[in-house]
Amino acid sequence: MDTSFLIKSVLFGTSTGDAIGVPVEFKSREYLKNHPVKDMTGYGTYNQPPGTFSDDSSLTFCLAEALTHDFDLSLISENFLKWKQEAYWTAANRVFDIGIATNKAINNLKNNIRPELAGGINEDDNGNGSLMRISPLVFYIYKMPISERYSIIKKVSSITHGHIRSIISCFYYLEFMISILTEKNLFKIYDNLKITISEFLKELSIDQVEIGFFDRLLKYNIYELSEDQIESGGYVIETLEASIWCLLTTNNYKEAVLKAVNLGSDTDTTGCVIGAIAGLYYGYNNIPEDWINKIKRKKDIENLAERLSKKIK
């Protein structure tokens, strides 16, 4: 397995999907049906030039950067703080977007609350802010037993999002990514996860009501749903469902990302989340070259991928 190539595929998959979505964040699905995104553009919502990634990618890179050292929640948290306070790992030395729950959690970190306790644990703390940044963790945990994987995912999600719904969303997403490393049939992966994740969550004695929120993924075939049945707001389960739906109903990276972004609403995050998993599945070479060449800090991202791959090996 070429770890360097896979990491590069995920990091550029993330930032490219994110950058495609940034100019149209908050645009409605109806608006995008009449003005669909077909390529990488710029300006729009945040008046940023083409190739500008948002907080989604920045925090993903902060996590990846921490993983180039020994696994340490405090180091991950320090990087998140540096991002907010010093524009660390931003596209152009400026933070122009931050989620409410993430902002609150980073303020908790600033006030010396322990990382695993910093994220909100209430039902209304289930934005997509931990899901959007979790993808690099796959390379640290993929060889571990499932119980250890879950434990680490829970800790890393909880830095900003500690509710069980956010944790399970991150867990499902990374389990799908881990499966991609050894199995290329997406529908086989999807069916296998229905069994393995359901059984594992049952063993943990998690409230069945909470597990029930994942029924469309764990009991049914989400790819059979129509676009009108897929939501694309900032709620973590909406983002997870939209990304898996886009992955299973398209045939390449470009198609998957454009389908996700044109769902509207939280376009940069949906683009980021589908971008990471589609990047892993289809590979770096399937991401349009002209898109990659526009991504801000391209050389820095390449360097990060190389450093992370050396640590993972």
- DSSP assignment, residue 161? B
Note the pLDDT tens digit of each residue in 120-146.
999 999 999 999 999 999 999 999 999
**Ramachandran region of residue 217, left (φ > 0), alpha (ψ -120 to 50) or beta?**
alpha
Note the pLDDT tens digit of each residue in 150-203.
999 999 999 999 999 999 999 999 999 999 999 999 999 999 999 999 999 999
Residue 70: C-alpha distances to residues 7, 130, 310 (Å): 17, 20, 12
Cα distance between residue 21 and residue 38, in whole Å = 11
Note the pLDDT tens digit of each residue in 15-69.
999 999 999 999 999 999 999 999 999 999 999 999 999 999 999 999 999 999 9
Cα distance between residue 284 and residue 289, in whole Å = 9
Q: Name which of 86, 64, 84 is nearest 75 in CA terms.
A: 64
Cα distance between residue 281 and residue 264, in whole Å = 24
pLDDT for res 312:
87
Query: CB under 8 Å, gap of 24 or more: what pairs does 39-44 form?
Result: 39/291, 40/16, 40/288, 40/290, 40/291, 40/294
Q: Kindly give the interhelix angle for 73-86 and 146-158, rounded to the nearest 10 degrees.
A: 30
- Is-contact 176 196, C-beta < 8 A? no
Radius of gyration of the chain (CA): 18
> Other CB atoms closer than 10 Å to residue 34's CB: what's the count?
7
Residue 13: both structure tokens together: 């998959």
- Is-contact 147 288, C-beta < 8 A? no
Note the pLDDT tens digit of each residue in 58-96.
999 999 999 999 999 999 999 999 999 999 999 999 999
Binned at pLDDT 50, 70 and 90, residue 205 comes out as confident
pLDDT for res 222:
98
Cα distance between residue 199 and residue 193, in whole Å = 9
pLDDT for res 313:
74
pLDDT for res 97:
85
Is the entire prediction scored with pTM above 0.75? yes
pLDDT for res 120:
96
What average pLDDT does this structure show over 95-121?
A: 95
For residue 233, is pLDDT > 90?
A: yes
Which residue reads 């867990």 in tokens?
Answer: 171
pLDDT for res 144:
97
Proportion of the chain in helix, strand, coil states, percent, rounded to 5 = 65, 0, 30
Residue 92: both structure tokens together: 């152009």
